[in-house]
Amino acid sequence: MHSSHPLELFPGRTVTLMLFKCVRNPAELRRSAMGGQITAALINPRMLVDPFQVIVAANKAVHLQTIGKMKTRSLNSEIIFNLSPTNNISEAFKRFGISDADDSVLVVLVATGDESQTLADIKEKVDGEQVPMEELPTLSDVTQIRKLYKVTPQEEKMGGLLDSVVCKMATKDVM
Amino acid sequence: MELEKNMVVSEFLSKGSVLKQGAEARVYRDVFLGRSTIIKERFPKKYRHPLLDEKLTHRRTVQEVRSIQRCRRAGIPTPVVYFVDYTSHCIFLEDIVDSVTVRDHIAATRQRSHPSPTLVPLEPLAARVGRVLARMHDEDVVHGDLTTSNMLLRRSGDGEAELSLVLIDFGLSYISALPEDKGVDLYVLEKAFLSTHPNTEPLFQKLLESYAASSKKSSAVIKKLDEVRLRGRKRSMVG
Ligand SMILES: Nc1ncnc2c1ncn2[C@@H]1O[C@H](COP(=O)(O)OP(=O)(O)OP(=O)(O)O)[C@@H](O)[C@H]1O
């Protein structure tokens, strides 16, 4: 039920996404991610419009890792940081990282080659219900997204919320 | 190391199709993150000092990205930025699919009205361009390279009335509130417009009228435009 997306700039690398709801062990998952037992980014889906948003963040993270210019300590935290509209790292984690009170989580795994074992291991650790990516919109909070990304009505009217969010993410380092 | 860094993108681009080879940049179309994407790559100019060149190229890339975001925030259609690689000076942009340049649209429309030439069908478009440029200038974005090739028309519904105007190529753009800068922006367009589309003076007039009517700050800009025109004429009389 996961979805995989190739990163064309980095042949062989893919971004794999798994979505879970009714998660009962968020605190444990967060600890495992911090301790390195889970080697994926665990994201709270409330601020996500579409999987594309995450893929854009992952591509930028791999790029910055490749040129040695990450702003955070790991690829997974860099993905979380890239989702944020601001350059404040702790704020990014607060908004996009999984917290102990969350009951849904998006698992983002950047892999080279066969990642099926890693996916199975992560699935094992999540005490929750895996759902198709199509359910992402039912977990997001559009009002909060507009506010966080400061999307103006005229901007949203022109190209939609996803376009506005992605452009904000991609341009934040020079604004 | 520097070379290695740039390999990633150049490998990728070598497989894409080149849309346009300009003096400063190459434009490609390829699939990126699953979407049809336009990639604009600025390459080094051999005759410039490498350090200066790097600085200038970087600045152009940054300016382009900034102006695009500034326009979008104000609801002025420009392509979405998906990704920027500041080491290889590449901007990955939304492909405005199913679009034609205003240049081609004007040429095709005039072709169709031949042999009884009329500019009337193009007046709504001229008015729309004027309105969009007025809004862009009200945001203090000066485009720097206004031509009818740097404006795309995208079909957003059915029928002519539904064509939406998208501004592209902000590589020479900058932020300025000065009427002079905006006047020069319009002057550049006027020159390009009338040389690309001969005998369309009434059409450009329509564009300016619409610009003037759409912006509260337009009278100072039009005044500057008149001054710049006069200077231009004097210069050409001397030279
Ligand atoms: N986002 C886009 N969607 C669709 N087509 C595009 C897009 N961007 C550019 N193009 C096409 O590519 C052409 C060249 O693009 P652009 O003007 O940005 O490049 P440039 O090399 O800077 O050009 P110039 O020589 O005018 O400065 C455009 O005229 C248009 O036909």
Tell me the per-residue pLDDT of B176-210, one tens digit each, with 9 for 90 and over: 999 999 999 999 999 999 999 999 999 999 999 99
**Which residue is it, tokens 């190391």?**
B1
A164 in contact with B, Cβ within 8 Å: yes
A contact test, residue of B10, B39, B82, B86 with most A CBs within 10 A = B82
Indicate yes or no: CB of A55 within 8 angstroms of CB of B33. yes
CATH topology of domain A3-171: PF0523-like (3.30.2380)
Residue of B32, B63, B168, B196 with the most ligand 1 atoms within 8 Å of its CB, for mutation: B168
Query: What is the CA angle B16-B21-B26, rounded to 5?
Result: 55
CA A154 to centroid of ligand 1, rounded, Å: 25
Which chain A residues are within 8 Å of B80, Cβ to Cβ? 159, 163, 166-167, 170
Residue whose CA is closest, atom 11 of ligand 1? Answer: B19
Q: Which residues line ligand 1 (CB under 6 A)?
A: B 19-20, 22, 25, 27, 38, 40, 79, 93-96, 99, 101, 145, 149-150, 152, 168-169, 171
> Contact at 8 Å (CB) between B122 and B109?
yes
pLDDT of amino acid B1: 40
Query: What is the CA angle B138-B143-B146, rounded to 5?
Result: 115
Tell me: ipTM over 0.95: yes
| Mean pLDDT rounded to a whole number for chain B | 92
Banded model confidence at residue B5, pLDDT cuts 50, 70, 90: low
CA B148 to centroid of ligand 1, rounded, Å: 11
Reported as a single tens digit per residue, the pLDDT across B26-60 is 999 999 999 999 999 999 888 889 999 999 999 99
CA A171 to centroid of ligand 1, rounded, Å: 19
Reported as a single tens digit per residue, the pLDDT across B55-81 is 999 999 999 999 999 999 999 999 999
Indicate yes or no: CB of B33 within 8 angstroms of CB of A5. yes
Indicate yes or no: CB of B30 within 8 angstroms of CB of A8. yes
CA distance A93 to chain B (A): 21
**What predicted TM-score, i.e. pTM, was given to this entire model?**
0.95
Q: Which residue of B has its CA nearest to A157?
A: B75
**Which residue is it, tokens 């995450």?**
A54
Counting Cβ atoms within 10 Å, is residue B140 exposed (0-12), middle (13-18) or buried (19+)? middle
B69 in contact with A, Cβ within 8 Å: yes
C-alpha separations of B125 from A114, A147, B151 in Å: 53, 35, 11
Which chain A residues are within 8 Å of B11, Cβ to Cβ? 11
Indicate yes or no: CB of A171 within 8 angstroms of CB of B83. no
CA A47 to centroid of ligand 1, rounded, Å: 33
Q: Count the alpha carbons within 13 Å of A169 in the hemisphere toward its beta carbon.
A: 30
A12 in contact with B, Cβ within 8 Å: no
pLDDT of amino acid A45: 98
pLDDT of amino acid B8: 82
Residue whose CA is closest, atom 27 of ligand 1? Answer: B169
Q: Which residues of chain A have pLDDT under 70?
A: none
Token pair belonging to A41: 């980014």
> Contact at 8 Å (CB) between A163 and A151?
no
DSSP lists the bridge partners of residue B146 as: none
Catalytic member of B53, B145, B158, B226: B145
C-alpha separations of B34 from A15, A90, A123, B12, B37 in Å: 12, 31, 26, 14, 9
Taking residue A1's Cβ as centre, other Cβ atoms within 10 Å add up to 11
Banded model confidence at residue B158, pLDDT cuts 50, 70, 90: low
Give yes or no: B145 in active site: yes
Taking residue B218's Cβ as centre, other Cβ atoms within 10 Å add up to 23
- Residue B194: which of B229, B234, B142, B159 has the closest Cα? B229
Among A52, A152, A174, whose Cβ lies nearest the Cβ of B66? A174
Q: Which atom of ligand 1 is nearest to the CA of B21?
A: 21
CA B40 to centroid of ligand 1, rounded, Å: 8
CA distance A56 to chain B (A): 7
Rounded mean pLDDT, B213-237: 91
pLDDT of amino acid B232: 82
B contact test, residue of A49, A64, A167, A169 with most B CBs within 10 A = A167
Q: How many helices (H) and strands (E) does chain A have?
A: 9, 5
B239, pLDDT greater than 70? no
